[in-house]
Amino acid sequence: MTLYLDNAATTPVRPEVLEAMAPYLARFFGNPSSHHEVGEAAASALDDARRRVAAVLGMRAGDVMFTSGGTESNNAAIKGLVLGSGRRHLVTTAIEHESVLASADYLARLHGVEVTHAAVDATGTLTPEALAAALRDDTALVSIGYANNEVGTIQDAAALADVAHARGVPLHLDAVQAAGWLPLAGLGADAVTVAGHKIAAPKGTGILAVRGRLPFEPLLHGGGQERGRRSGTPDVAGAVAIARALQLAEAERLDEAARLSALRDAFIARVLALVPGARLTGHPTRRLPGTASFVFPGTNGETVLLELERRGIVSSSGSACAAGSDEASHVLTALGFAHDDARTAVRFTLPHALAASLDPVADAVADAVSAIGSRG
Ligand SMILES: Cc1ncc(COP(=O)(O)O)c(C=O)c1O
């Protein structure tokens, strides 16, 4: 049987989520904008989903819009808030997801926006001082990943929000990898991205919450749904699904985070003890409970993955977007890893429900790396 340790790439849909959304695909199929009882049933489910999400994010229901996933939410947040502000400077970091980096690049190319990539340290941490140094009087937005998708490093979101606010700049948090593991409320973020498929809701579901009345230029124009911020008939079943998934994850979060952190730490220690030359990437302690990421200098990440798959373990080299490519990860190179070492990255991302010890996985990693070494 295959052990799936690539949960940062995507997760299976939980039965409770499937059960909650199913009635909205066929029985309550109405268009929530329709003024008749069929439409109203859908509209009330959408309202309810919005309230549930808002409660987890510590925002108001009216702040929450439903999107097609993390990529859309990040595009909408960055383009929407920068273009809405009338200012022309954006601050982010070099270790963000491609949807953030490419949105910043688009604004630079087509809208004359200047982009500053604030410096992160070798653990992938953005310090409040480094953020403060990147801010300017004309900064429109700070967009930061709450937890990094490749190395799992967690940012001190509340401290970064304080620094941005002291200069009157709103903070967008890409919480795609943080959702389900870290608190999302009470951080002071002005905009938050969540992707459904990372938290056991279906692919194609997402959330962007934008606080209050921040000026926002929509990406999608049309019928004015989602308070004019995202036109198009909403995916009611998807909204119900992501709301349920987020609520379940929040209810289980503290217990799961503590349990998984212990399993992760034991796994990391065993891999480092058994694999000569192995190095942990990211922050040693301020990291996502479910993420263990390494480089194995002298190997090739893709070859290690193949060897692991032959031993029944599925993982990845880092971002799913870069899977199968031999390119060095932009995250690891920004953290100061040499290109050759960055190409040996392997990331294990654990499922929430994991109960068993990962000792056999660590043993398989050691076996896989030594098999490559003895061949090479
Ligand atoms: C940190 C981060 N942001 C954004 C995304 C994009 O989300 P989606 O796959 O829903 O488009 C991902 C996906 O891996 C991610 O890890």
Tens digits of pLDDT across the chain (376 residues): 799 999 999 999 999 999 999 999 999 999 999 999 999 999 999 999 999 999 999 999 999 999 999 999 999 999 999 999 999 999 999 999 999 999 999 999 999 999 999 999 999 999 999 999 999 999 999 999 999 999 999 999 999 999 999 999 999 999 999 999 999 999 999 999 999 999 999 999 999 999 998 999 999 999 999 999 999 999 999 999 999 999 999 999 999 999 999 999 999 999 999 999 999 999 999 999 999 999 999 999 999 999 999 999 999 997 666 556 668 999 999 999 999 999 999 999 999 989 889 999 999 999 999 999 866 5
The CA distance from 312 to 161, in Å, is: 42
Question: If you measure from the C-alpha of residue 324 to the centroid of ligand 1, how many angstroms do you get, rounded to a whole number?
Answer: 17
| pLDDT value at residue 213 | 86
Question: If you measure from the C-alpha of residue 139 to the centroid of ligand 1, how many angstroms do you get, rounded to a whole number?
Answer: 25
Q: How far is CA 252 from CA 34, 179, 185, 258, 313, in A?
A: 36, 12, 15, 10, 26
Ligand 1 probe mutation, 176, 208, 319, most atoms within 8 A of CB: 176
161 Cβ contact partners less than 8 Å away, ≥ 6 residues apart? 171, 187, 188, 189, 190
Q: Please give the positions annotated as active site.
A: 321
**Which domains, from first to last, does the chain contain?**
3-8+253-375 (3.90.1150.10), 15-249 (3.40.640.10)
Question: If you measure from the C-alpha of residue 193 to the centroid of ligand 1, how many angstroms do you get, rounded to a whole number?
Answer: 9
- The pTM for the full model equals 0.97
| pLDDT value at residue 373 | 80
Question: If you measure from the C-alpha of residue 108 to the centroid of ligand 1, how many angstroms do you get, rounded to a whole number?
Answer: 21
Ligand 1 atom nearest the C-alpha of 74 is 4
Residue of 47, 27, 25 lying closest to 225 (CA atoms): 47
| pLDDT value at residue 318 | 79
The CA distance from 167 to 37, in Å, is: 48
Minimum CA distance residue for ligand 1 atom 7? 70
Question: If you measure from the C-alpha of residue 320 to the centroid of ligand 1, how many angstroms do you get, rounded to a whole number?
Answer: 9
Ligand 1 probe mutation, 13, 149, 182, 203, most atoms within 8 A of CB: 149
**Are the beta carbons of 89 and 140 closer than 8 angstroms?**
yes
Minimum CA distance residue for ligand 1 atom 5? 70
Ligand 1 atom nearest the C-alpha of 198 is 10
What string of DSSP letters covers 143-178? EEESB-TTT-BBP-HHHHHHHHHHTT--EEEE-TTT
What is the number of other CB atoms lying within 10 angstroms of the CB of residue 284? 10
Question: If you measure from the C-alpha of residue 7 to the centroid of ligand 1, how many angstroms do you get, rounded to a whole number?
Answer: 12
Minimum CA distance residue for ligand 1 atom 14? 9
Ligand 1 probe mutation, 68, 92, 97, 151, most atoms within 8 A of CB: 97
Please report, as a single letter, which amino acid is at residue 326.
Answer: D
Give residues (CB < 6 A) around ligand 1. Answer: 69-71, 74, 97, 99, 145, 149, 174, 176-177, 195, 197, 206, 320
The CA distance from 319 to 341, in Å, is: 16
| pLDDT value at residue 70 | 98
- Residue bearing tokens 């058994």: 274
Ligand 1 atom nearest the C-alpha of 96 is 1
